[in-house]
């Protein structure tokens, strides 16, 4: 069974299927990449909880940065957030994001119950 949570005409914020949860890309508020990353990860925590998962069950993360020069600042926040020994498979690249003020977007796939 496929379960779609917080769905609209364009997308679902959460999709659960066969014990895996897929989150739509998350962005955050703030003036710099560190603030946006911290806010983004807080949103991911909330969605994972709603989906019956948590950050220690993340399987894969895809990180998009508007500018790769922000890599170290984003990683400082990311590294403090990921539980020790629970780092997921991860990719990070540079891409133009949906709005000019956005500096980071993160897409998460995680294990969940059910």
Residues annotated as part of the active site: 92
Q: What are the residues whose beta carbons fall under 8 Å from the beta carbon of 18, sequence distance 6 or more?
A: none
Q: Interior CA angle at 20 toward 44 and 14, to 5°? A: 45
For residues 59 and 20, is the Cβ–Cβ distance under 8 A? yes
Length of the chain: 114
């Amino acid at each position: 069974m496929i379960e779609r949570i917080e769905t609209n005409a364009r997308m679902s914020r959460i999709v659960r299927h066969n014990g895996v949860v897929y989150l739509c890309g998350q962005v955050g508020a703030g003036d710099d990449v560190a603030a946006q990353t911290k806010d983004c990860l807080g949103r991911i925590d909330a969605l994972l909880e709603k989906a019956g998962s948590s950050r220690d069950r993340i399987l894969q993360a895809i990180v998009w940065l508007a500018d790769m020069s922000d890599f170290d600042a984003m990683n400082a926040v990311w590294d403090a957030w990921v539980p020790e020994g629970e780092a997921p498979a991860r990719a990070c690249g540079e891409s133009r994001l949906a709005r000019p003020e956005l500096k980071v977007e993160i897409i998460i796939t995680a294990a969940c119950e059910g």
